[in-house]
Amino acid sequence: MTMQSLMARSPVIPVVRIETASRAPALARALLAGGVSVIEVTLRTAAALEAVAAIARDVPDMAVGAGTVTAPDQVQQAQDAGARFLVSPGYADAVNAAAERAALPLLPGVATATELMRAQADGFKQLKFFPAVPSGGIAALEAFAGPFPALRFCPTGGVHSGNYLDFLQLANVPCVGGSWLTPVETIESGDWAHIE
């Protein structure tokens, strides 16, 4: 599985903060039923790695990834849990190298032209634009298209139900990431019909 193929699975990648790992398989099934077959579980809670493992084990049709990867040791932890890809909020050589050693697709975060140039030189063609709206949003992505025509972005950060379609109109944006599909309170209440 490549990052390009992962980004093509759904126009919206749910960015999930999960507090109770046992709810993760039901959440993944609800997303699948709603037509979303990729999920990013952020490593921002104590339950995150266990949630990744539960989805990988119980819902094999869901491509589960670990997000908010900021350190090399998290790469191995995510791989051990069964993550099929990684997402980082920034661009860090140590994380990039660890992901390459693990042979896991990585979506590194960028926000500036300098970071885009580094990423392109390192062979990345798919990038997370983060934080998207504070970093210039649609206007920035349009500006990046000129000097970086081969790069594709998943904007995340400030992307929501009211603006995601505007981002998806851009030729260099095959998908967006956001948390609005999976609100924490909806997960905790087990309202899977709402998520579907």
Q: Which residues are catalytic?
A: 40, 128
Contacts of 107 (CB under 8 A, 6+ apart): 3, 6, 7, 85, 86, 87, 88, 126, 127, 128, 154
If you search the block for the tokens 């390459």, which residue do you land on?
100
- The beta-strand segments (E) located in 62-189 are 63-67, 85-87, 106-107, 109-110, 126-129, 152-155, 176-178
Q: Which two tokens stand for residue 190?
A: 């087990």
Q: Hey, what are 47's tokens?
A: 């339950």
DSSP summary character for residue 69: -
Contacts of 8 (CB under 8 A, 6+ apart): 174, 175
91, 130 Cβ separation under 8 angstroms? no
